[in-house]
Amino acid sequence: MKNQLLQQCMLLCLVLISLLAPGRSSAADVKDGFRDARLGAKLTSFKGMILTSTSDGQQLYERASDNLTMGKGTLKSIIYCFEKGVLVDIHLKAAAGANGKAISEEITSVQGAPTQQTTIMGSPVRYWRTPAMLLTYVEGPQIRVSYALFSSLKKGS
């Protein structure tokens, strides 16, 4: 009994260590967020957040310690949006083209196949939906930028 409990605890520790390992570059450690940032988390649970602006009741933050490498791609920025001290959106911005494709592939490797795909004004748009989150990825070749938006479906609740 003790050995089985010890094995379960060790397995749980290994899983937690792999999720918290520095330099981890997967798109999301949990499906309802990005890396260590889970939608719905309180601002006080984050370290190193720097307020960059406020807009329409949202406070926008960045972290200097964020690793901008994502799979084989590189992000330009990661913006964390809070309302009333709760994380409601995470914005990722990257250069389009091969870099954007690498970001899209990394998101797909973690989130699975998109639940919906479409084209808007010549730009491919992919959607992933969980009960708590909508993830939208837009490749904008005309403006040479790719965006991913992790958005809480529980805003205002």
Q: CA 40 → CA 43, 65, 85, 89, 114, distances in Å?
A: 9, 21, 9, 9, 22
pLDDT at site 156: 57
CB of 65 closer than 8 Å to CB of 48: yes
Q: For residue 107, which of 41, 34, 40, 38 has the smallest C-alpha distance?
A: 34
Task: List the domain range (segments joined by +) for residue 115.
Answer: 23-152
Give the residues across from 58 on adjacent strands. 55, 83
In a domain, 16, yes or no: no
pLDDT at site 31: 65
In a domain, 115, yes or no: yes
In a domain, 14, yes or no: no
In a domain, 33, yes or no: yes
pLDDT at site 123: 86
2: its two tokens: 């003790």
Distance (Å, whole) CA 128 – CA 109: 12
In a domain, 49, yes or no: yes
Q: What is the 3-state secondary structure (H, E, C) of 56-98?
A: CCEEEEEECCCCCEECCEEEEEEEEEEECCEEEEEEEEEECCH
In a domain, 3, yes or no: no
The DSSP line for 5-23 is HHHHHHHHHHHHHHHH-TT
Helix (H) or strand (E) holding 89: strand 86-95
In a domain, 31, yes or no: yes
In a domain, 5, yes or no: no
pLDDT in tens, the chain (157 residues): 433 332 332 222 222 222 233 333 344 434 688 998 999 999 999 999 999 999 889 999 999 999 999 999 999 999 999 999 999 999 999 998 888 889 999 999 988 899 999 998 888 899 999 888 999 999 886 778 898 999 998 775 5
CB of 28 closer than 8 Å to CB of 130: no
How many structural domains comprise the chain?
Answer: 1
18: its two tokens: 């792999």
Instruction: Give the SS3 label for residue 153.
Output: coil
pLDDT at site 98: 87
pLDDT at site 135: 93
